[in-house]
Amino acid sequence: MASKPPTNEAFLREVDEELRRDQLQRFGTRWGIPLIIAILVALAAFGGWLWWNHEQGKKAEAQGEELSQVLHDLESGKTEGAEARLSKISAEGGDGYRATAELTLASLKLQAGDTKAAAAAYKKVADDAKVAKPFRDLALVRQTATEYDSLKPEQVIERLKPLAVKGNPWFGSAGEMVAAAYLAQNKPDQAGKLFGEIAQDQTVPESIRSRAVQMAGVLGVDAVDQSRGEDKQ
């Protein structure tokens, strides 16, 4: 009995499958090895990234522990070898650890009486665009305080005026220096106004507020009653 000839649909399907096998074979012959190499390279790169990320995490953890230990030792009065340890963290650490290490080094220089080196260390942090702004602002305030006697009043004002505003974390420290610079420029009205604002700001440290009350009073600005009124609220 003769076999039934295939239908057009079955025939077309067989032709289509044969064509796909032929295309896959030709694709594999032409691109098989390069494709395998590309996949292997991609996997190797991904594996390398995972390893690097893991190692960076371990390194950061170790640096954090070392910095914490150095700060603890300094609080305990153990200063021997501190500068070398901090310098290593500064050279190898991430932005936050580096800034903290350099600020601590600057403080050690200042305690040792080396104001020039301390100011330079503070400036290094203040000028570092990779460091978070709170670190840079702190460094700028401390740099200016360290160099204050050698600076012209206009230099102090130019540096710190952006920080000497209500709501800024450094309003008290920066504002006090800016107000003193206004006095040096023979601008008592501006100085008195700023001292009065500092005296009335509850977020400013009490020691700075007390000095501001006194200076405001000397300059004819009565900040005492207003300050006490805010304290009672």
Residue 153, pLDDT score: 96
Ramachandran category for residue 129: left, alpha or beta (phi over 0 → left; psi -120 to 50 → alpha): alpha
- For residue 228, the model assigns a pLDDT of 47
- What digits encode the pLDDT tens for the residues 32-62? 555 554 555 566 666 665 555 555 555 556 6
pTM greater than the 0.85 cutoff: no
State the Cα–Cα distance between residues 172 and 176, nearest whole angstrom. Answer: 6
pLDDT at 154: 97
**SS3 state at 25:** helix
Q: Residue 118's pLDDT is what? A: 92
| 105 in Cβ contact with 122 (< 8 Å) | no
- Exposure of 23 in the CB half-sphere (CA atoms within 13 A): 6
Q: Give residue 104's pLDDT.
A: 86
Residue 143: CB atoms within 10 A of its CB come to: 23
Average pLDDT, 10 consecutive residues per value, the chain (233 residues): 54 60 60 51 61 55 69 74 80 78 87 91 92 92 94 96 94 95 95 94 92 91 59 44
Quick one: pLDDT at residue 17? 65
